[in-house]
Structure 1
Amino acid sequence: MKSLNLLLTGVIISTMIALPSFAQQIKSTKGHSETMVKTSLEQMQAYDKEHPAPVKKKKRHNEKKIYPEFSLEGKTVLYNEKGNGQTEMSPKFMDPSPLPDADFSGLEDTGGSIPPDVNGAAGPNHLMVTLNTSFRILDKQGNVISDISIGGFWAGLPGAGNVFDPKIMYDPYEDRWILVEPSSSDVGSSRLFVAVSENSDPTGNWFLYAFDSDPDNQYWFDYPSYGFNKKWITVSGNMFGAGFGYNVLFVFDKAAIYNNAEEVSYTRFSLYDGFTIVPSIVYDPDLEDMYMVNNAGGNSGGNGSLNLWKVTGELGNEEVLDLGLITTPNPWENWIGNNGNFAPQMDTEENINSGDGRIQNLVYRNGTLWCAHHIFLPINNPTHSAIQWWQLATDGTVIQRGRIEDETGLYHYTFPSIAVNAKEDVMIGYGSFSSDQYASSSYSFRYADDPLNEMRDSYQYKDGLAKYVKKFGGDRNRWGDYTATCIDPSDDLDFWTLQEFADLPTGSTDHWGTWWAMINIDDAPLASFEADINIVPTGTATSFTDKTKYDPTEWLWEFEGGSPATSTEQSPQNVIYENSGSFDVTLVATNYLGSNTLVMEDFITVNTTILPEVVFVQTDTLPCVGQVVEFEDLSVYNPNGWQWSFVPDDVSFVDGTTANSQHPKVQFNLATYYEASLTVSNVNGSSTIVKPALIKSGGVMLPFLEDFESKSFNTKSWIIENDDDDKTWEITNVAGNGPGNLAAYVNIKNYGGFEERDRLISPLINLSANEFAFLEFEHAYGQRFAEYTDSLNVYISDDCGQTWKNLLRLGEDGSGIFATVEPSSVEFIPATSNEWCMGAGEEGNCYLLNLTEWAGSANVRIMFESY
């Protein structure tokens, strides 16, 4: 049994004894990320090799079994379908949906989760599958590139081993994968994780962020719904405590996440009159606002209703508007009895759980909104489930509303997901169930010019292979909870859907499976291109990249003033401009359906004055003495010469690089601060950038102060070692030691085993210029029970953390009393100065450690270890 909380603040290393450092209105609050980690697929794979994922059965709270209903009395009605003469849908349109152009396995059942929470997305060159069991990256032919454990993907974030309900999407405007997933169904540790890829390649780098889902620790976050537009990533979720509490909406600064900011701010809204409020995925690079929809009720006064919302405002000053209801006199039921086990299957009386009628996803495309959900029909005594889909104007007008339904009740359809391409063709993927078959994967399709309100006939692309009964000792035969259908960003036309089916059993154990299907859609090209640089030094070159949509097969370029003057390459390289002036560029893109011409007037400017714009980055600014740092030149405007210099100049260029290399590798030989400068030349002249004290070889010099008020461990390069990927060091709000209100914190209340050690390691410290050195830190600590012990150890290393020597051992077992309050079962966060250690030396209970033994040394680190 572990006890409660340990906090550190005011960490000081100095040359003398130092005093502690003091360094309709919808409710919203502001906050920021707790933790940020930059990682890569390679690091994830290495983690998985060292920490094989245990097979675990998913057992988390899930009290809600009946769809919550809210009073609609007094709410604004934006649009009533009955009042506009649309009580009847069009006659059934039964032309067949197109056959898939490709289909293959997504990810198999490993026995570790019900339901799998089926989700995936397509990028330009890859597919990703994100399930409760694990993640998978594939190419578009179905070949597996990598499998990643969930813990391995989120490694480094607190609570990485307790995640569930992953959802992924692709941002085609900035070429990023976006993955969201909650962690922990405990109100005290519930978090929301957000990850984005560094670029379009999911096998490269990822930026991971952790956010406290409820700073008041009253509710935990379940079932994320997501969206994005030009400035926000939005994630909503259902908050549960002793039952359903409210719907929460996080609005994140998308640019900050994409730029791998140390800290990401958000606005958090508490929405008390809606369940599963779904933000929109916005396929419009200019739309400022974001719309949201939820199922407001299936049968209120004989009407079914949606609720339309809008997120608006400037970045950081967002507000949420409840726009009102959209109603139809065609009601439905949102839930069915028998714990939701309603969908029939062959060879067993055990039905499959059909979930409820929540909206599954929302798409904004060409000025309108599209969404889908499954419903139960007829009202009062449902015999089957059907898919209902909507096309809405942003003022709430119902443009189209349709149902995918077998009115005989033989077939049930559940868990839809909808996608809309640039032409407004539509695909809806879903599960199909019947007493005449096993649980299967299906889709329906409509072309943009098909009759209003209708989908083409259902196509079952993956047949179920066996009965499916898997309850893990519960009362629900879980399926879903959701699926994925998306557009291929490579052309904005093709469709992908990932659905669940009943796979073959292993012995007596039934299995689910997931299966992809793709539909290829063609259109005439829409020409587009970009250049490496638009301002070109006279006599030099620029290169062009084709960005044409809809699969062109031929290209004809014309370069006014350029050499060559024309090209038939897809992306011509090294087009030289000999003379000054402004010049047009023309591209004609062609495929078998037609051609499109784009003329960009005065697109290229050529002159004799533009100098290089000098930019460079480096792999490290706090290297150990003798460590190699790699520099990368990112200068623009056709550089052709480089001169690197460092002050002092005691450095070594390694691996064949020199001071004139574009991307040198440099070993720093002294324990000191180095100035770095780079001069870059082109045909017009040269430019220089100087970065004083950029490289702190051997570490930062004294005095060093850390008060954690930057809100991030990364600001000063602290390192966290969290071997079990569970609770670990984080930064939290405190009081009593101001000014300032933050501290490093570890909650060791619920550690599951002995000797689980979490280490907070300082940045590199340089004591080479000091004769004396001391370490002082403030701490606050509260036990849960007097008979149990926790520990805090402090270590020092003078070889960059390769070996450690103990400086201090503290514990409640007699080897060092360090509690600052009396034992209590109440979670401890210090609120007054009396709850912190007071002073150092014989009269106090803070600690002052003499580091003079290491004075004169560089490459020093301090480690705080708790267990």
Structure 2
Amino acid sequence: MVRGLKLFVCFIALGQVYAQSDYKVTNNVPVFKQWVVDFSDNSKLDVVAINAGVVAPPPFSNTKEIKAQLDAQRKRTFSEKNKVTHRSDIDPTVLTGFNGKPLGAAGIPNDNTLAVSNAGIVVSAINTSVNILDAEGKGLKFRTLSGIVAGQLGILDRFYDPKVLYDPINDRFILVFLEGSESSDTRIIVGFTQTNDPTGLWNFYAINGNPIGGAKWSDYPIIAHNKEDLYITVNILRDNESWQEGFVQSVIWQVNKNSGYTGGTLIQNMFSDIGFENKPVWSICPVQPALDMDQKGMYLLSVRPDASANDTVFLHEITNTAASGQATHILKVLKSTEKYGVPPSALQPKLGFKLQTNDTRVLSASLHLGEIQYVQSTLVASPLSSGIYHGTITNTATNPSVRGRVISTLGMDYAYPSLAFGGQTAEENSMIMTFSHVSESEFPGTSAIFYTFKDGVNDYYSDVKPIKLGDSVINTFLADSIERWGDYTDIQAQYNDLGAVWLCGSYGDVSGKNNVWIAKVRSNNVLLSIEEMFVYPNPSNEFMKIATIFKHNELVKISIIDNLGREVKSIDKQQVKPGNVQFLVDVSGITAGNYILTIASESGQKRVSQKVRIK
């Protein structure tokens, strides 16, 4: 069993920052083709169109030699798990779970992705197909990726790398996937629902997968969105060349969402030739705003994915909207004192069976309260294994700096992480992460972990929580003993139910296939209690927002007290009710310095207090 796993968390110091910006922007790039698909048309279920045995193109990676060296060094240990500091009292709770692929064949690999609307409609996609489900897992509609483009792009048989998201601002879904793996047929397929019902009409567009010309094609999309735009990043590769030689560059597509929802001419820009020190920066991950999407630009992250050990983090910024025609690209290079590295292959319980962990690219990132949190697979040096790198960028908009932590468990391999906001209040800096797990005694499955950063000082992690335990080794592609495993997981906050997230991952099923599991999970942040509160921003010279929890109806008083014990500001007779309560306090007239902010009952009994700084 994987239950009760303990974790290692390694902390690092802050890094240095310097800037560089090389890029090219092409505005108003035309689409290759546009069409409409009616998902409600039951005559086009096209289950037979799935090529169940076709292996999706592996993500470009320059890690073959590094992995071979690591795998040669690694020995099976069957060791006991170490005891380390953890917080089992903040373990997330699994609310529901079900198979996310009731129809269709598994992908090789799955490339799990999902999105969930405020109404509880789930869109689950893998390398072969799309399943639309209700919140209990009942199937509503099914389509293969090939059926979506049938009759539009000729006779084609390779569709892969799906990504799906839910837009809570417009109550719509967006689906992205790739077609073709050579210059003659490479396309980026982008679909927008016309309404909030994904079982109805979708507007689809085919974007040229070879926008820079020559014998090249697009691989490995990652997507995110803000109020106005969808961002798609891909890697451009040369035809028929090795991973080591084939990479050309990574590009960023910026697409106006409204033009897609209405079925109009797609407004889109492309940022290319993004480089540092005359070398292309590759595998760029857009940073998904956690809750506040009302912003014109977008942050993106990349690292050195093929490095055996490196400390570089590239912070990209697109500064304006697609429709503005004024968007530019800014690149800042951050240094962390904790290095990430390519992980070894993961060990399955059966001798001779391994799982691919790919490289150490950034796989998922989220922006909240001015900070970016991101995750990637990474090397755990001792004992040699694959773990999760959890990074945080603070002061993102002004003077960004990075710190990182490595999450691992002795005897386990973790890979393909993703993260989403998991706070019960918007003032929390909390995330839930999901990732794939396996060990020498545990079949491949899916896990999750809760994280919160409290008082601007302390990191807290829950135990690693098993979400779905595997039933067998993964043994899908018999030609290779190192099986495809990822290439990613997915997770999304339930936007109208703070503290709840939906996640999807994989597990080895009884037939030896890589199957799909979807779960709804809720955070359990007992650290946010009557004795605790969150204050943001802190420090501040204008307003401070306070969030805490009360157990009873009562009148309370808010006070700000200086170092001599003098009350410099008070707000009396504030009525509170049981549950989460928020206050907004004006501190603009208070002299700069350090103070104590307290909340007390009407009788004077202190309920909660915290140090604050007025600047």
Superposition TM-score, scaled by structure 1 size: 0.51
User: Does residue 229 of the first structure (1) align with residue 226 of the second (2)?
Assistant: yes
CA distance in 1, matches of 2:88, 2:496: 28
User: Does residue 101 of the first structure (1) align with residue 95 of the second (2)?
Assistant: yes
Partner of 2:215: 218
Partner of 1:642: none
Residues 1:399 and 1:267: Cα distance change in structure 2 (over 3 Å): closer
Deviations 1:476-534 (A, max 9, x none): 410010001110123243111111111101xxxx211121222235999xxxxxxxxxx
Secondary structure of the residue that 2:147 maps to in structure 1?
helix
Amino acid at match of 2:100: G
Partner of 2:421: 420
The answer (yes or no) to whether the contact 1:415–1:480 under 8 Å persists in 2 is: yes
CA distance in 1, matches of 2:376, 2:502: 18
Equivalent of 1:519 in 515, 518, 521? 521
Equivalent of 1:431 in 433, 436, 453? 436
Partner of 1:753: none
CA distance in 1, matches of 2:220, 2:25: 20
User: Does residue 363 of the first structure (1) align with residue 369 of the second (2)?
Assistant: no
Partner of 2:300: 292
Amino acid at match of 2:473: K
Residues 1:495 and 1:93: Cα distance change in structure 2 (over 3 Å): same
Residues 1:55 and 1:103: Cα distance change in structure 2 (over 3 Å): same
Equivalent of 1:162 in 158, 164, 171? 158
Residues 1:304 and 1:176: Cα distance change in structure 2 (over 3 Å): same
User: Post-superposition shift, 1:229?
Assistant: 1.4
Partner of 2:75: none
Partner of 2:446: 441
Deviations 1:781-813 (A, max 9, x none): xxxxxxxxxxxxxxxxxxxxxxxxxxxxxxxxx
**Identical-pair percentage:** 21
Paired residues for 1:133-212 under 5 Å: 133-158=128-153, 161-212=157-208
Secondary structure of the residue that 1:497 maps to in structure 2?
strand
| Greater mean deviation of Cα atoms: 95-104 or 113-122 | 95-104
Secondary structure of the residue that 1:257 maps to in structure 2?
helix
Partner of 2:497: 491
Partner of 1:47: 44
Residues 1:35 and 1:110: Cα distance change in structure 2 (over 3 Å): closer
The answer (yes or no) to whether the contact 2:50–2:104 under 8 Å persists in 1 is: no
Amino acid at match of 1:146: K
Secondary structure of the residue that 1:152 maps to in structure 2?
helix
Secondary structure of the residue that 2:101 maps to in structure 1?
strand
Partner of 1:477: 483
Amino acid at match of 2:216: Y
Paired residues for 1:574-585 under 5 Å: none
CA distance in 2, matches of 1:520, 1:591: 23
Secondary structure of the residue that 1:391 maps to in structure 2?
strand
CA distance in 1, matches of 2:391, 2:440: 29
User: Post-superposition shift, 1:454?
Assistant: 3.9
Secondary structure of the residue that 1:389 maps to in structure 2?
strand
Q: Which has the larger radius of gyration?
A: 1
User: Post-superposition shift, 1:383?
Assistant: 0.9
CA distance in 1, matches of 2:103, 2:375: 26
Deviations 1:572-596 (A, max 9, x none): xxxxxxxxxxxxxxxxxx9962678
CA distance in 2, matches of 1:256, 1:487: 25
Secondary structure of the residue that 2:362 maps to in structure 1?
coil
Paired residues for 1:373-392 under 5 Å: 373-378=376-381, 383-392=384-393
Residues 1:162 and 1:347: Cα distance change in structure 2 (over 3 Å): closer
Amino acid at match of 2:137: G
CA distance in 1, matches of 2:196, 2:247: 37
CA distance in 2, matches of 1:176, 1:116: 24
User: Post-superposition shift, 1:430?
Assistant: 0.5
Deviations 1:231-287 (A, max 9, x none): 221101111113111112111122211221044443342334222101122232321
Partner of 1:832: none
Residues 1:149 and 1:384: Cα distance change in structure 2 (over 3 Å): same
Partner of 2:36: 38
Residues 1:345 and 1:25: Cα distance change in structure 2 (over 3 Å): closer
Which contiguous aligned blocks of 4+ residues in structure 1 show a shift greater than 4 angstroms? 108-112, 297-300, 521-524, 594-598
Amino acid at match of 1:206: W
User: Post-superposition shift, 1:158?
Assistant: 1.5
Deviations 1:724-774 (A, max 9, x none): xxxxxxxxxxxxxxxxxxxxxxxxxxxxxxxxxxxxxxxxxxxxxxxxxxx
User: Post-superposition shift, 1:205?
Assistant: 1.8
User: Post-superposition shift, 1:390?
Assistant: 1.8
Secondary structure of the residue that 1:113 maps to in structure 2?
coil
Partner of 1:670: none
User: Post-superposition shift, 1:297?
Assistant: 5.8
Partner of 2:23: 26
Runs of at least 5 residues in structure 1 that lack an aligned partner in the other structure: 1-23, 70-90, 337-341, 525-589, 599-867
Deviations 1:34-91 (A, max 9, x none): 2221222113x32226x8324342245448443499xxxxxxxxxxxxxxxxxxxxx9
Paired residues for 1:525-540 under 5 Å: none
Partner of 2:605: none
Amino acid at match of 2:95: D
Deviations 1:433-472 (A, max 9, x none): 1101111110001245387344211011211111222225
CA distance in 1, matches of 2:104, 2:117: 25
The answer (yes or no) to whether the contact 1:36–1:263 under 8 Å persists in 2 is: no
User: Post-superposition shift, 1:332?
Assistant: 2.9
User: Post-superposition shift, 1:388?
Assistant: 1.1
Residues 1:322 and 1:118: Cα distance change in structure 2 (over 3 Å): same
Amino acid at match of 1:435: E
- Pairwise CA RMSD: 3.0
The answer (yes or no) to whether the contact 2:311–2:335 under 8 Å persists in 1 is: yes
Count of paired positions: 474
Amino acid at match of 2:129: S
Deviations 1:130-182 (A, max 9, x none): 00121111111222222222222334532564321000111111111111111
CA distance in 1, matches of 2:191, 2:285: 19
| Greater mean deviation of Cα atoms: 56-65 or 190-199 | 56-65
CA distance in 1, matches of 2:59, 2:139: 36
CA distance in 1, matches of 2:59, 2:85: 39
User: Does residue 466 of the first structure (1) align with residue 472 of the second (2)?
Assistant: yes
Partner of 1:457: 463
Residues 1:103 and 1:297: Cα distance change in structure 2 (over 3 Å): closer
Deviations 1:382-417 (A, max 9, x none): 7101111122131463475322112x3x11110000
CA distance in 1, matches of 2:514, 2:260: 35
Deviations 1:659-696 (A, max 9, x none): xxxxxxxxxxxxxxxxxxxxxxxxxxxxxxxxxxxxxx
User: Post-superposition shift, 1:343?
Assistant: 0.8
Partner of 2:315: 308
The answer (yes or no) to whether the contact 1:222–1:238 under 8 Å persists in 2 is: yes
Runs of at least 5 residues in structure 2 that lack an aligned partner in the other structure: 1-20, 66-83, 529-575, 585-615
Residues 1:101 and 1:398: Cα distance change in structure 2 (over 3 Å): farther
Partner of 1:278: 285
